[in-house]
Amino acid sequence: MKKNAFNPYLPSWEYIPDGEPYVFDGRVYVYGSHDLYNGHVFCLGDYVCWSAPVDDLGNWRYEGVIYPKTEDPLNKEGKMCLYAPDVTVGPDGRYYLYYVLDHVSVVSVAVCDTPAGKYEFYGYVHHQDGTLLGEREGDEPQFDPGLITEGDVTYLYTGFCGRGDKSRSGAQVCALDKDMLTIIEETKIIVPGSEYSAGTEFEGHAFFEAPSIRKRGDKYYFVYSSEVMHELCYAIGDSPMGKFTYGGVIVSNCDMHIDTYKPANQPMCYGANNHGSIVEINGKWYIFYHRQTKGGWYSRQGCAEEITFDENGAIPQVEITSCGLNGGPLPGVGEYAAYLACNLYTDKPMMYVGDYSCPRIVQEGKDGDEELGYIENFTNSASCGFKYFDCKGVKEFAITTRGYANGVFEVKTAWDGEVLATLRLEYTNVWERYTTKIDIPDGVHAIYLTYRGDGNAALKSFELIV
């Protein structure tokens, strides 16, 4: 029996951002960097891999550590972090893992005979004279490699462009020989960074980081994180080396620009950087991206949403949801964990993480402890939203909560909708379950919970009861 698929799609105690999804032999594999819960910087863990059957996207399997950070000769002491990787299948049929360490500006490569086996260090990308890419005069520092291989040629996309830094021009691409290391077509800029985007079609959505490349039909889709960080944008080209034309925003991890259920300029979650790509799975296309937890930057989790293409190949922006890979809404009955919230906000709109008094997704224990996530910091007006559920005959509603709080949770099916029920809380330092009668009309609905009152509550789960 297939499992329901949620966002985040991996267990709540796993923190794999920067997801690069691929389908190999009937399974979708996701490669990403590896944050730690309570991490003090990005990407502290070794590379691990997860996979799922293409016809059961709620059933993810842990493939284990595929590449430890100490495997790179430059990092034998493990003092550097493994930043966002990508994988491509080389002309020889082997799997090549490309990455950059956090304190050097060259591209490292590892190789494996299987998608999720033990990768072994292979070499560094270099110019034909042997100089490493990133170290020759005129090279820009390397960051966030993305790959596509066609025939004997592999195209490598890299780049990072912070605002105010005129030494970084934009997203770069070069072509590699069949040895997967030697540059045979020199680097060129395909999407400008913010310092060079004025007057171009990319202005306002200039390249920041996270280059990724996919092919659909005869078009190449270059996916990247823009200068505002929370959005993944795309550009379309007729060849791997460009020219690329700006397409639009695919997803924002705070749902900016979306006006289907709220004003377009209203953030509905606390966003920050973003990284991911598109992939076709069983005839449907998805965008993989990540969200922030703990109210900070360094414990990110992978999410995904189904996308569509119009007749011109354009991708309309999609909402962030709690059910992205599920193929439709979740059943409108049963208990759902609070960490599945796709919307977190208060009556003071905020686009970015950083205010630790706001509601935030946390877990008990330390990194690696398999403890279910929950939401803490429900103070007055703090809200969470879950989308979407196919409701039929829902007559009761329950929450499991704790905390020193004196107030009520309001239940709605829209962030600004009618209050359908309230649940009064009592001061408690253990999880307590509260129920109320409710009449949710039959149909597909979101669920929103808003706390009104004094003190500070935490939410473990809610339950739809028929």
CA–CA distance, 284 with 276 (Å, rounded to integer): 17
Which position among 18, 71, 140, 305 bears the catalytic label?
18
194: phi then psi, degrees, rounded to nearest 5: -65, -30
Among 228, 227, 232, which Cα is nearest to 196's?
227
* 157-176 per-residue burial string, b: 16 or more CB within 10 A, e: under 16: bbbbbeeeeeebbbbbbbbb
Q: How far apart are CA 32 and CA 17, in angstroms?
A: 6
Active site residue 18: yes
Residue 352 contacts residue 270 (beta carbons within 8 Å):
yes
- Please classify residue 49 by burial: count the beta carbons closer than 10 Å to its beta carbon, then call 0-12 exposed, 13-18 middle and 19+ buried: buried
**Backbone angles phi and psi of 368, in degrees to 5:** 95, -20
What is the distance between the alpha carbons of residues 196 and 173, in angstroms, rounded to a whole number?
Answer: 17
Q: Of the listed 35, 72, 209, 376, which one is catalytic? A: 209
Which residues are paired to 396 by β-bridges?
437, 465
Tokens of 432: 């307590």
DSSP state, residue 67: E
Instruction: Report d(CA 302, CA 428) in Å as an integer.
Output: 33
Q: What are the catalytic residues?
A: 18, 209
